[in-house]
Amino acid sequence: MMSAIHQMSAAEALTSLRSAVDGLTSAEAQARQREFGPNQLVRARRRPAVFQLFAQLTHFFALILWAAAALAWLAEYRSPGSGMKALADAIVAVILVNGLFSFWQERRAHKAIIALQRLLPESVRVRRDGQLLEVPSAGLVPGDVIELGEGDHVPADCRLIEAFDVKIDNATLTGESLPQTRIADTESSDEAPAQQRNMVLAGTSVVAGQAAGLVVATGMRTEFGHIAHLTQTAPEAVAPLQHEITRLSRLVAALSILLGVALFVVGRFIGLPFRDNFVFAIGVIVANVPEGLLPTLTLSMAMAAQRMAARQTLTRHLPAVQTLGSATVICTDKTGTLTENRMVARRVFVLDEFRDVAGGLRGEFAVGHRRLFEAAAHCHTLHPGQGADGSPWHGDPMEVALVRMAHGALPGVRELGRVDLKPFSPDRRRMATLHADGEGFVLFVKGALEAILPLCNVCDVAGGGSAVTDALRRTIVQAEAAMASEGLRVLAFAYRTLSALPDREHFEQTLTFAGLVGLHDPPRPEVPSAIARCREAGIKVVMVTGDHPQTGLAVARAIGLAQGQRPRVVTGQELERLSVAQLRFVLDEPELVFARVSAEQKLRIVLAFQQTGAIVAVTGDGVNDAPALKAADIGVAMGISGTDVAREAADVVLLDDNFASIVAAIEEGRGVFDNIRKFTTYVLTSNIPELVPYLTFVLLRIPLPLTIIQVLAVDLGTDMLPGLGLGAERPEPNVMFRPPRTTTQRLIDVPLLARAYLLLGGIEAAAAMTAYAFVLHQGAWHWGMPLHSQSLLYRQATTACLTGIVVAQVANVYACRSETLPVSLRGLLNNRLIVTGVAVELALIATIDYTRWGNAIFGTAAIPWEVWCVPVPFAIALIGFDRLVKGRRRPRARAQIGSPTRPIAPARS
């Protein structure tokens, strides 16, 4: 029906739906409601809150921790009093606290989204039983006749049967920045429903005029519903960070189990009793699981999300913080994101002279061309009232811009009473208003140049008039073409002075041409610098808009997105004809603009970029953007102008609708990836000094240098706040001069593991074991001598081992602040959270070492001050050796900061 009803006359359309101009009867409407259902979108069911919480407690890394807790409980069962129960309880607490925090973070972001305004109206004026009634929009059915006025949202897809100077804002569905004229006449074209001049679609709004529409589709059968369905069924991308965490979980599980089994075999080989050997193997497995990594990771992303919120970016899902930093391609909408989403008069042409509106219209020029500005001030259908942009006029944004220009040029512009109006129509392509002017009248005409210039025989010039010759016509037409090439919407103005009230049918004759005015939706002033930063960062920016190709290209040039002589512009019709291989080659173009694209086509563009290996961020505000937002690796919706459908589909919401905020968020996201590597290195490093004591216990048959509860003191106590400090590091200065990380670059790679386990961890293990041996030597212990676990010497020795780890970790947190820069260049006091964390870490270990309750809980005892000096040389050595390694890596790191022309998206592995 939708494909043919626009080609029917109004009477035929009514007949085809068994309706009439007066609408349906209430009984018929109820019958159709039962048949077609309510006029509502069927929303995809959200997972119940309990399932969302369950998901936070059962992801892969959480399962690893659950397994570690189960093993610890089993070990406690086999060997009561070993301390494994406390470890198991602590791990479970970590899982629960982390899961609850992540659940709360996502629920809070979701509530912020649903608090934003809804798009479809709650009630509508409908003709039923010969009366005009106001009914809930959900009660509309096909065949209803509704009335629409200025400011109304369209509740269903309608074929107009009456239209009076109607203009529709289609931006939410098509991305067009200018209001579109709608008529009630029959259309013969085969274009999409949104382009049919006698159709208005659900989700759009009436900018000007009055209309009556025949409802032809409701609910999910509307174009709005079709896009909503496409959004709900679009594939949802998995965040790269989730892949990396799963990979890390598998790696940790494999290493832990492999090491535990290997040492169990060694223990059996050297004759260790089965029960002791079993408990020992479990202890090794659990010790190798970084219990503190999960809460540190979650809190780090949450802190980054808070920093992004301060920069006008709301994060709905925590992994989206890092995903945005991985983006290699940004597919951005134009209207409202790159531009200000408001019409502004930019340039004026009057007989061989162009003038920019900003600062160039006042004084003699404005007075000399007074009639042009009077025409702009009076030839409109605006109404007094608060406009959407705060102006005192309500109506078509383009007419508001013209009136504002006129009042700016002539602050004392005369108020002329309107006598008559001939409204704009697509056939005439112009409008006219007649006003009383002293003892006579003045007629103002506004519209397309080709509709006005043939009616003009005089051209207005300062101080008089000039006959319109063929040469002058060519000059005016060339001026219009020059303004249109800049992406301006060009309107012509003319006037006629009359001594008596003219015949209405013939008063648009012998006009005087007043001039041309070019309008546009101006680019946001901060966007060009943001585009430049994207180039420096190796991120490809592609404009994907529903607007006219010429308009899109003009904006692309204005913001620096298109700098070459021949940027590639692809329309939706061209895109429809491209094969998969042809589209792949198009995506390789360095400067690319897609225009007049539909929702399906935008989704196709996103999926095609992803198939090249790109990490794609998509911005959008309209219903037509929602499918692409959901399918993208990172969907970015607009918080002010964005529709509810778009915000629901997105991962991130821009609170200020500003493209520059995306670039700031990308910087934060890149910093998050770096920070995760930093605190992962920091956390994994302590695994080695926690593991080595178990190895020496079994292999060298010495008293266990570090107890289970002391391992917990490090993982969930002293390490936590410094680790958070690393997670809160500001992005490094060169982060936006680096290319995006490739899809083959892992969060946890061999260099990171080698640095954590072999270099930093090895030095820390040496520091801890040396401090342990120092205390045993001072206590005259020798190898083979039994040492009871409650003896003072044993407790002092394990305290020395624990203290050695903590002292070394103080040096390690500063070493981990950068993978390439030494401590001297990163500074010691410029991260207050790290400084606070180190202070708390030292205070905590002092409390564990020297207080009665600390000794009781952790099995420690006070140690002499000289024991603290033992690990200090190792901490200094850790800084020194790490500096040497970084010195060798720095030239390679500098080489990675290459030209912005490098390949954008290597193939996925």
Write out the catalytic residue numbers.
333
Q: Is 119 within 8 Å of 643 (Cβ atoms)?
A: yes
CA distance 772 to 867: 9
Sign of the alpha-carbon dihedral angle for 633, 639, 644, 646: negative
Name which of 693, 824, 679, 572 is nearest 304 in CA terms. 679
CA distance 769 to 813: 20
CA distance 778 to 780: 5
Residues 6+ apart with CB under 8 A from 339: 177, 521, 522, 523, 524, 555
Could you please report the per-residue DSSP string of 14-29?
HHHTT--TT-B-HHHH
CA distances (Å), origin 284, targets 84, 262, 378, 688? 12, 10, 84, 11
CA distance 625 to 645: 9
User: Which run of H or E residues covers position 298?
Assistant: helix 293-310
If phi over 0 gives left and psi between -120 and 50 gives alpha, with beta otherwise, what is residue 526? alpha
Residues 6+ apart with CB under 8 A from 211: 147, 148, 149, 160, 162, 163, 164, 166, 182, 184, 200
**699: its two tokens:** 């292999």
For 168, phi then psi, to 5°, come to -120, 140
For 759, phi then psi, to 5°, come to -80, -70
Could you please report the per-residue DSSP string of 744-765?
T--SS-HHHHIIIIIIIHHHHH
User: Which residue has tokens 């790290």?
Assistant: 834
CA distance 603 to 902: 26
CA distance 321 to 308: 8
Q: Give Rg (Cα) of the chain.
A: 36
DSSP count for the chain of H helices, then E strands? 35, 26
How does DSSP classify residue 714? I
User: Which run of H or E residues covers position 111?
Assistant: helix 84-114
Burial class (CB within 10 angstroms; exposed 0-12, middle 13-18, buried 19+) of 847:
middle
Cα end-to-end span (Å), the chain: 47
